[in-house]
Chain A
C-alpha cells in the first residue's frame, strides 16, 4: 500500500523542476519565479491557490503509518535526549509570575537535578514582559546557551493593529528575546487577504532586527486548528516562508486542535519542497498537545523520514511543550535505572 501511495502522491508534492502537468503543479522551482509570486496581491493569490491540493486521507494515513515505528533501547535513548534538547519549555498563562518563570528557567537548564547528563532544553518560551526575567534567570544558573523565545503580536488571537503588534515585537527583542513567536492574522488569511498577512510577517521580521546588528529568529504561528483545511495549512506555510519566516509553527496551544501528526507532516513536506525550490532551509515547530515521550518520538520519526538528518537538530526542529519534559525525564529515568519512574520524581510546574 505504501508503495502505491507514494507513487500516487509524490508527483503532487515534490515539485519537479519542469512539470508536464503545469496547471496542477506550482511554478517552476526557481527563485525568480517565487519572486514573481509575491509581486502583487493577485499574483500571490494565484500562486497560493495554484499549490497542489492536499490528499487528506493519504496524508493522515502516512502520518499514522510513521507513528507505528518501534523505537527501542539505544535509538530510544538518543531520541529522548534529542527531544529534550529540542523543547521550547513554555509557560504562557495569565498567572505567570517572575518566580514561576525563574523556576522554569532553572528546570530548563537542569531538567533532572538527580542526573546532570540530561541535556538542556533549547529555549524558554514566555510572554514579552517576562523576557528580561527569563534571560536573567538563565544567565544566573548557567544557561547562557539556552535561548529565550517570546510570543508577540497580540498572542494568541493576533487581533490588534499592526502598530501595536510591531511595538510588542520590538519590546520583546529589546528585552533580550532571541526568538519571536508571532501569530498570523487568521481573519485576514481566511478572508483571502493574503497580501495583508504577507506584509505583516515582513514588517514583524524587520521589527526583529536588534539595535546592535543581527536579528531575532522569527517563528510564524498559523494556528492550524483555526485554518480548517489542509489546503489552507499548505498555503499558509508557503506564504510564511515566502515572507521570510525562519521557523513555521503549528499552533498557539490555546485552541482545541493543536499540533497533530498530520498537519505537522504537511508542514514538514512544505519546508522540504521550499528548500528544493529555493535552497533556503526553514525550521518547524509543532506546539500544543504533545505530552508523552512516545508522541515526541513519533514526530522525530516523521522529521527523519520526510526531511532527514539536516533537520534533526534543535536549530531546525522544536517542540512547544511544557508537560512533555516530565514524561521524557521519566522515560529517561526508566532507561538509566531499569525501573519505572513516577510523577513523584519530577517537578510539578
Chain B
C-alpha cells in the first residue's frame, strides 16, 4: 500500500478513519433500527466509542417473528448438528480474538490482558456448551419405572422462543453464558444486549452470521433494556424470558407482564453474579419442557 500513487513525496500519510456502523441482527440480516434511532456508546471513562442502534418495540416484534420462523428447523436439527454449529461459533470467535479483546477492554474498562482472559473464557464457554448439545437429553431425561407393561420415557424438549436480557456488566462472557444455554437445547433467542456496553454483542452477531447458524436462531437488539424488554415480556408468542440483565424493579415489572401470558421466567441472579464460575446445567434446563411418552412393551 505504501507504493500507492496519489501520495506525492511519500510523506507520512494520514488515512481517513473507517468508522464501523453497528447494526441490529434480526433473521440473519443486519438491519438498522426500524425507528431510525441511534444512541452514543462510551467506554467506562465517558469517551465516545460508536453509535449503536436504539431498538424499538417494532424491532422486538420483527425479531420475535424471525425467531418463531427459525424455531422449527433449529429445534428439529439433530443435537449433533447443533453441537457442531456451536463449536463453529467458538472457532470463528477465536479468529477474531484481537477484535473482541479490544472491544471488551473498552466496554468494561479492563487492561488488555484481563480483557483477553475474559474473551478466552467466553470462547471456552461456547465449546463447553457445544459439548452439552447431545448429552443434556441423557442427563436430564431417562426411562421411568412404571407399574405396567410400558416403556415410560422422559426427554427435555426446547421451550420455543426465548427472550434473553443479557447481563449489563459482563458484555461478552456474561452474554455468552446466557445465550449459549438457550440455543443449545433447540430454542431460538431474542437477545437484548447490555444497554451500556452493547458493542461486543453486536460484533458477536457478525460471528454468528458466519458460523452456519441458521438466520433467526439468534437475534440481537440493542437499546434501552426497559423499552425493548416490556413488549417482549408481554408478547404472547414468546415462550420464556431470561431476566439476567434486569435490575430488581424492572425484573418485577417484567415478571408481572410475563405472568399474564404464562411465560416461563428465569429470575435474575444476585447482582454480584460471577460469570466466570462453573455455570452448571441450570440455565440449559430452565428453558426445556419435559415430555414423557408411554409406549407399550413388546410392540
Binding site for B on A (CB under 8 A): 333, 338-345
Contact = CB atoms under 8 A, between A and B. Distances in A.
Contacts of B235: 339-340, 342
16 contacts: A339-B235, A339-B236, A339-B261, A340-B61, A340-B234, A340-B236, A340-B237, A341-B236, A341-B237, A342-B68, A342-B236, A342-B237, A342-B238, A343-B68, A344-B237, A345-B236
B236 to A, nearest CB: 4
B268 interface: no
A130 B64 CA distance: 39
B260 interface: yes
A137 B298 CA distance: 46
B131 interface: no
Contacts of A338: 234
Contacts of A345: 236
Nearest to A341: B236
Interface string B218-245: 0000000000000100111110000000
Interface string B184-198: 000000000000000
Contacts of B68: 342-343
A294 to B, nearest CB: 12
A344 B64 CA distance: 14
Interface of B: 61, 64, 68, 231, 234-238, 260-261
The 4 closest A-B pairs by CB, nearest first: A342-B237, A339-B234, A342-B236, A340-B235
B61 A339 contact: no
Contacts of B231: 339-340
B40 to A, nearest CB: 29
Nearest to B231: A340
Nearest to A333: B236
A234 to B, nearest CB: 37
A157 B7 CA distance: 71
Contacts of B236: 333, 339-342, 344-345
Given A339-B236, A340-B234, A342-B235, 19 more contacts: A333-B236, A339-B234, A339-B235, A339-B260, A340-B61, A340-B64, A340-B231, A340-B235, A340-B236, A340-B237, A341-B236, A341-B237, A342-B68, A342-B236, A342-B237, A342-B238, A343-B68, A344-B236, A345-B236
A333 B234 CA distance: 13
A27 B204 CA distance: 67
The A interface, classified by DSSP as helix, strand, loop or mixed, is: loop
Contacts of A343: 68, 237
A184 B68 CA distance: 41
Nearest to B64: A340
Nearest to B60: A340
Of A333, A339, A344, chain B has the most CB atoms within 10 Å of the CB of: A339
A293 to B, nearest CB: 13
A342 B71 CA distance: 14
Contacts of A342: 68, 235-238
Contacts of B260: 339
Contacts of A341: 236-237
Nearest to A338: B234
A333 B235 CA distance: 11
Nearest to A339: B234
Contacts of A339: 231, 234-236, 260-261
Of A338, A340, A341, A344, chain B has the most CB atoms within 10 Å of the CB of: A340
A158 B247 CA distance: 65
Nearest to B232: A340
A345 B64 CA distance: 16
Contacts of B261: 339
Nearest to B260: A339
Contacts of B237: 340-344
A308 B260 CA distance: 42
Contacts of B61: 340
Contacts of B64: 340
A329 to B, nearest CB: 12
A345 B237 CA distance: 9
A39 B244 CA distance: 78
Contacts of A340: 61, 64, 231, 234-237
Nearest to A345: B236
A159 to B, nearest CB: 38
B230 to A, nearest CB: 10
A344 B68 CA distance: 12
B138 to A, nearest CB: 30
B68 to A, nearest CB: 8
Contacts of B238: 342
A322 B277 CA distance: 53
A341 B68 CA distance: 13
B153 to A, nearest CB: 26
A68 B61 CA distance: 20
B26 to A, nearest CB: 15
B237 to A, nearest CB: 3
A340 B257 CA distance: 12
Nearest to B234: A339
A210 to B, nearest CB: 46
B10 to A, nearest CB: 51
A343 to B, nearest CB: 7
B166 to A, nearest CB: 21
Of B68, B235, B237, B238, chain A has the most CB atoms within 10 Å of the CB of: B237
A341 B261 CA distance: 10
A339 B231 CA distance: 7
Nearest to A340: B235
Nearest to A343: B237
A340 B163 CA distance: 14
A342 B235 CA distance: 8
A338 B237 CA distance: 14
A341 B237 CA distance: 6
A338 B231 CA distance: 9
A264 B235 CA distance: 35
